[in-house]
C-alpha cells in the first residue's frame, strides 16, 4: 500500500504544512463478499464503515455482475464517498471494498482502491493491506512485459502480476499463486473476479484477514481485515485466513489452497496493541481483553505513587484500566476526545497554536486539579503529541504527571504496511528513556518490556513480528529500501 516513488513538488506543497501524526498509521482495511441474493454493495459499505479506523484517505467498492465490473472510488471517508444513489448503481453478486491510509504525497484518487485490471478471463478488482518490499524488481519486470502502470502503489503491481499470468493461459487460481510467489513482503488481499472472490495472505500473515459466514441456505462467505467488519452486517466469524493460504469463494462454496510450503506466522504485534478495534477478535478473545492485560503487566513492571490513572482516548484506555486494576489507583476520565475530528488540511494560526488549540483532546480540569496523575498511552513515536498532552495536564492543575506506555520503545521503522518515519525521526531511536522523559516534561516515564508485551498474548512469542521494537525483520528488506528509512544501528531490547 505504501507508494513506491517520490511525490512531485506540487503534491508535497499541498500537505507540507500539516504536522505528521504522532502515531503509527495503518495502511488500509479490506472487505469482500460473495452473496448473489443480497445487496452486496450496501453490505460492503457497512463493512468498510466498521473498518474506517484503518484508513481515512480514500474508499472504494467494486462489484461484479457477471463479467461486468462496476467501480466507484474517491478521496474521503466511507460516508463521504458513497450515498444511496451511488450504491444502487453498484449491482452484482459479489464485491470487494477498500478503505485506505496513504503517506504524504500519495493521497490521490488515482491511488485509491480497489485496483481494477483487465485480463483474458475478465477484469479483476484487488484490495490490498500491507506493503511489498521488492517493488523495484517487480516494477521493472512488469514494465519490461509492457504493463501500463498508472498508479504509484504496489497494490496495482500485484494486480498486474496476476493479470500477466492469466493472459499467458493460466486460470484464476494458478495465475494468482504464480503472482504471489513474485511478491516479497506483507499482503492481505481480497480479489474479485467474474467467477468468485479470492482471499489471500503472505507466508507470514503479517496483516490480518478473517473469514465469516453470512446466511444459512446456502451459506455465503465474507472476508474482512477484522471481525468488527463481520459483526456490523451480522456475519459470523468462521476463522482466519492462514498465513500462506488462498481461499476461493464461488457458488460451490469455499475452497482452501496453501500456496507456499513453509508459512511462518508473524502477525504484526501492533495490530493487537493499537491498530485493530478493541472489539475485534484475535487469538480467540477481544483485543480489549489483551490490552487490559498489557495495562496490568505495566502496573506490575512500573509501579508509581499517584492519585488517579487516566488513559489517552481511545486506544490507551483499556491499558489504563488494567493499570488501575493492578495498582489499585482509581481510574478516571481526564481527557475528553472530540470524536468528530478527522484529518484536517486547515492549519491553525500561530496565535492559535500558542494558545494551545486542542482539536482532538481536552482535559477535565476539575478531575485533574491538585492530583498526581498517571497517564497511560499505547506508544510514543515522535514525542510531539505526548509533550502537548503533558503540558495540557499541567495547565489543568495536575501536580505530577507520570507517563506509562503499554508497549516497548519504537526504535525501528516498519516496511510491511505501517507508515512510520525514518529511524532518525523516532524519538526512542535517538534518546534514552530518561532523555525522552525530560523532553516531554514528565515526572517519570516507563515502557512495558518487550517480554511482557509478548507474554501477555498467551501465544508463542515467535509468532509475532515486533521488528519496530527490535530491528529483527522477519522478511528480508532490500538494502535500497532499507537505506531510505534505516539510519541507525540496531538497538537492544531492554
**Residues carrying an active site annotation:** 28
Helix (H) or strand (E) holding 394: helix 384-395
Do residues 117 and 128 make contact, with C-beta atoms less than 8 angstroms apart?
Answer: no
Which single residue is written with the C-alpha cell 500561530?
350
Residues β-bridged to residue 32: 96, 223
Phi, psi (rounded to 5 degrees) for 100? -125, 140
Print burial letters for 46-64: b (CB count within 10 Å at least 16), e (below 16): bbbbbbbbbbbbbbbbbbb
DSSP string, 20-46: PPSS-EE-EEEEEEE-TTS-HHHHHHH
Closest-CA residue to 241 (of 228, 230, 225): 225
- Please give the Cα distance from 119 to 130 (Å, whole number): 24
Pairing label, strands 58-65, 68-75: antiparallel
How far apart, in Å, are the Cα atoms of 328 and each of 126, 132, 300, 303, 312?
49, 45, 11, 10, 19
Instruction: Please measure the distance between the N-terminal and C-terminal CA atoms of the chain and give it in whole angstroms.
Output: 32
Closest by CA position to 313, among listed 371, 376, 365: 376
Give the position of cell 453490505: 43
Tell me the chain's radius of gyration from C-alpha atoms. Answer: 23
Amino acid at each position: 500500500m505504501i507508494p513506491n516513488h517520490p511525490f512531485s513538488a506540487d503534491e508535497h506543497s499541498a500537505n507540507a504544512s500539516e504536522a505528521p501524526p504522532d502515531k503509527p498509521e495503518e495502511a488500509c482495511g479490506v472487505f469482500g463478499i460473495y452473496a448473489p441474493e443480497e445487496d452486496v454493495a450496501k453490505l460492503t459499505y457497512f463493512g468498510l464503515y466498521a473498518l474506517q479506523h484503518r484508513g481515512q484517505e480514500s474508499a472504494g467498492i467494486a462489484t461484479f455482475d457477471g463479467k461486468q465490473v462496476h467501480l466507484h472510488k474517491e478521496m474521503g471517508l466511507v460516508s463521504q464517498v458513497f450515498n444511496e444513489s451511488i450504491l444502487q448503481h453498484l449491482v452484482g453478486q459479489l464485491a470487494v471494498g477498500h478503505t485506505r491510509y496513504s503517506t504524504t504525497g500519495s493521497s490521490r484518487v488515482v491511488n485509491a482502491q480497489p485496483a481494477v485490471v483487465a485480463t483474458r478471463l475478465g477484469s479483476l478488482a484487488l484490495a490490498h493491506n500491507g506493503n511489498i518490499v521488492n517493488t523495484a524488481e517487480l516494477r521493472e519486470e512488469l514494465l519490461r512485459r509492457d504493463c501500463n502502470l498508472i498508479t504509484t502503489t504496489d497494490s496495482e503491481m500485484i494486480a498486474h502480476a496476476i493479470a500477466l499470468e492469466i493472459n499467458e493461459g493460466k486460470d484464476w487460481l494458478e495465475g494468482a499463486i504464480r503472482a504471489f510467489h513474485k511478491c516479497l513482503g506483507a499482503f492481505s488481499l481480497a480479489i474479485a473476479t467474474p467467477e468468485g472472490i479470492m482471499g489471500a495472505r503472505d507466508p507470514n500473515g503479517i496483516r490480518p484477514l478473517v473469514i465469516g459466514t453470512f446466511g444459512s441456505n446456502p451459506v455465503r462467505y465474507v472476508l474482512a481485515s477484522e471481525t468488527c467488519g463481520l459483526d456490523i452486517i451480522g456475519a459470523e466469524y468462521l476463522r482466519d485466513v492462514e498465513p500462506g493460504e488462498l481461499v476461493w469463494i464461488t457458488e460451490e462454496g469455499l475452497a482452501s489452497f496453501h500456496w507456499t510450503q513453509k508459512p511462518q506466522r508473524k502477525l504484526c504485534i501492533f495490530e493487537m496493541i493499537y491498530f485493530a478495534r478493541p472489539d475485534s477478535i484475535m487469538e480467540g478473545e477481544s483485543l480489549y481483553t489483551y490490552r487490559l492485560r498489557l495495562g496490568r503487566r505495566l502496573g506490575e513492571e512500573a509501579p508509581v505513587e499517584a492519585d488517579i490513572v487516566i488513559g489517552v482516548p481511545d486506544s490507551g484506555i483499556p491499558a489504563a484500566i488494567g493499570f488501575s486494576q493492578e495498582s489499585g489507583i482509581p481510574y478516571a476520565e481526564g481527557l475528553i476526545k472530540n470524536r468528530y475530528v478527522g484529518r484536517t488540511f486547515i492549519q491553525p494560526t500561530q496565535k492559535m497554536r500558542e494558545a494551545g488549540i486542542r482539536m482532538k483532546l481536552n482535559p477535565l480540569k476539575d478531575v485533574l486539579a491538585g492530583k498526581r496523575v498517571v497517564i497511560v498511552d499505547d506508544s510514543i513515536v515522535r514525542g510531539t503529541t505526548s509533550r502537548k498532552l503533558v503540558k495540557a495536564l499541567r495547565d489543568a492543575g495536575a501536580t505530577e504527571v507520570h507517563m506509562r506506555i503499554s508497549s516497548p520503545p519504537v526504535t525501528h521503522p516498519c516496511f510491511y504496511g505501517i507508515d512510520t518515519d525514518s529511524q532518525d525521526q523516532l524519538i526512542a531511536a535517538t534518546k534514552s528513556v530518561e532523555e525522552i522523559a525530560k523532553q516531554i516534561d514528565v515526572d517519570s516515564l516507563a515502557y512495558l518490556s518487550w517480554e511482557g508485551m509478548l507474554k501477555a498474548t498467551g501465544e508463542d512469542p515467535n509468532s509475532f513480528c515486533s521488528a519496530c521494537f527490535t530491528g529483527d525483520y522477519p522478511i528480508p528488506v532490500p538494502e535500497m529500501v532499507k537505506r531510505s528509512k534505516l539510519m541507525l544501528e540496531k538497538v537492544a531490547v531492554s
